[in-house]
Amino acid sequence: MPNLDLSRKSVKFLEGLPAKQFRQISLVLIGLTREPFPADARPLKGHDPYHRIDVGEYRVIYRLEDDTAKIALIGKRNDDAVYREFRRHR
């Protein structure tokens, strides 16, 4: 069962969310500890070993390293800014 490791940016993003969205994303993150590659996880093209999961209007970018799901970034799903930010801080 993997552990979770959230980047500072991910934590900061979560702290700024309304309660409903915080709960939605938190449940998905906790779910990664049971199933690191759920059915809706997709490989991030050109950025192996990263994957993405869509959670409502948000996107979670993560990778599995040893026994840890490392959450790299959380951002708006329909916004290319999440990918620009990912490429900058990867």
How high is the pLDDT of residue 33?
A: 92
The residues spanned by each domain of the chain are 3-89
- In tens, the pLDDT along 23-79 reads 999 999 999 999 999 999 999 888 889 999 999 899 999 999 988 999 999 988 776
Residue 90: which pLDDT band, with cuts at 50, 70 and 90?
low
SS3 45: coil
Q: How many CA atoms lie within 13 A of 27 on its CB side?
A: 8
E strand or H helix at 30:
helix 19-34
Mention the CATH class of domain 3-89.
alpha beta
Residue 71 near residue 7, CB atoms below 8 Å: yes
